[in-house]
Structures are given as C-alpha cells and as structure tokens.
Amino acid sequence: MAAEKQLNVSDEVAVEINKMNKWYGSFHVLRDIDLTVYQGERIVIAGPSGSGKSTLIRCINALEQHQKGSITVDGTILSNDLKNIDKIRSEVGMVFQHFNLFPHLTILENCTLAPIWVRKTPKKEAEEIAMHFLEKVKIPEQADKYPGQLSGGQQQRVAIARSLCMRPRIMLFDEPTSALDPEMISEVLDTMIELAEEGMTMLCVTHEMGFARKVANRVIFMDQGQIVEQNEPEEFFNNPQSERTKLFLSQIL
C-alpha cells in the first residue's frame, strides 16, 4: 500500500451530511445524501457528468443551499445564518476547474486579499504567509506577476496556495485538472499529493483515477444525484458492486 495511505485518519468528524436533498427549481439534483468525512480523509468523488458531484461539494461550503436534511462542517451546522456561512467558508478551502483568480491583482495580492480583508491579518504578515504557501506550491518567483502571465498549471497552483493562506481545515477540489493541458496535470496533482501527505482533509472531484488509487482512502461514486457506492480504492476499482459503477469504470479506465 502506498506510504501516503498510512496517514492518520482520526475519529474526529470533519463533515457530517444527513439525508440531504437539494433541488434546482423543480429538478431534484441531490437525493438523500448521507456522508461522514473524518479529519485526515482523502476522498475522491467520481461519477458521470451531471450526477451532482459539483453541487454536492458546493453545498459543503454553502456556495449552494440545500433544502432538506443537514450538513455539519467542523461542528457548525450549515443554515442560512450568515455567521455560520462565514465561519464555514473560512475553514473550507475550495479550488475550481477554472482557477478563478482575480486577473487585475498580482499573484501575491490574490493570496493576501482574503487574509487581509476577511481574517484582518496585517498586510506584512499576510504577505509572509502567502510567500510561504507560494514556495510550497513551488512558484515563489511568480509573486509579482499577474495571472494572465502564468501557465494554467501555475495558475491552479496559485489557486491552491491562495486557499491555503486562509488556513482551511478542509479542502474541496472540483476537477482541478480538467481545464489543464495534459503536460500540466501532474504538477497540480503533485501539489495535491503533498497536501494529502501532510494530512489535509480533502474531497476531490476528479477523473484522475491514478490519483484516486494513489492518494484516496475512499472513492465515492455518484450517479443521478445519489451516492451509489463507496469503497477503498482497490475494492472500488477491482470489485465494483453496482452495474452503474461497472459501466462507468468500463468507460473511463
């Protein structure tokens, strides 16, 4: 078993989702989602396009609202109370397919904006923290450039560094490598592997099944708004239980 899989998964619950349902208008997009994520877990969420993967992780940091059931993040119940939403957003980092960096701000400014304005971190300290994380994702020399001057892989690593500057306890990734040219995928995955090795709790929507095998302790398969099946990677890939999972795997592997 890969070394990084031996990392501690604690019995402390990071995210608890109970019978959660969400609709977009009359469209029932998530159905009776039950999911407990423990601190230190690295979960890969897989499934066909339109199965609700993005919606699920967007619900976890309240980018989308659910209508039924409950979501608890680090002990805080997600409700419409803005105070709770602020607290959860500061504990949960999110990285998107399309980086979402501010184009008119430098790399450093992208990384210090939220710490300064949301966390009220003094500017100098925020810059030190930002440089620390830019070093971690191996692009400190790009700090004074603008996003448009960087490659896609570099921009995505900035997006990861920017999230880390808020010192999140949980990181959500929504297809972080899907918009990248093939030769840049591994530099982003390597950054994510390092984060996993350091014990970050991670939920990753990705089609990178090599990453899932190497890093995940659990793979969740979604289809039509439901969690159809979940298992540790070896079992998930070698011994899928449902027909829908088998079909999906036959199409992507």
> Closest distance between ligand ADP and the C-beta of residue 8, in Å?
30
Q: Which listed option, ligand ADP, Mg ion, none, makes contact with residue 152 (CB within 5 to 8 Å by class)?
A: none
Taking the CA atoms of residue 83, residue 87, residue 88 and residue 90 in that order, the dihedral angle to the nearest 10 degrees is 140
Is 54 near Mg ion (CB under 5 A)?
yes
Integer angstrom CA distances of residue 95 from 66, 67, 216, 244: 20, 24, 17, 28
CB closer to ligand ADP out of 50 and 75: 50
H-only helix segments in the chain: 53-60, 82-91, 107-117, 123-136, 152-164, 182-197, 209-215, 233-238, 243-252
Which residues of this chain interact with ligand ADP, rule CB under 6 A? 24, 27, 29, 47, 49-55
CB closer to ligand ADP out of 58 and 115: 58
CB closer to ligand ADP out of 48 and 199: 48
Is 51 near Mg ion (CB under 5 A)?
no
CB closer to Mg ion out of 56 and 108: 56
Q: What angle do CA 103, 107, 109 make, to 5 degrees?
A: 90
Number of residues counted as binding Mg ion (CB under 5 A): 1
Q: Which listed option, Mg ion, ligand ADP, none, makes contact with residue 89 (CB within 5 to 8 Å by class)?
A: none
Residue-wise burial string across 83-122, b where 16 or more C-beta atoms lie within 10 A, e elsewhere = eebebbbbbbbbbbbebebeeeebbbbbbbbbbbeeeebe
> Closest distance between ligand ADP and the C-beta of residue 156, in Å?
18
Position with the least CB separation from Mg ion: 54
Residues contributing to the site for Mg ion (CB under 5 A): 54
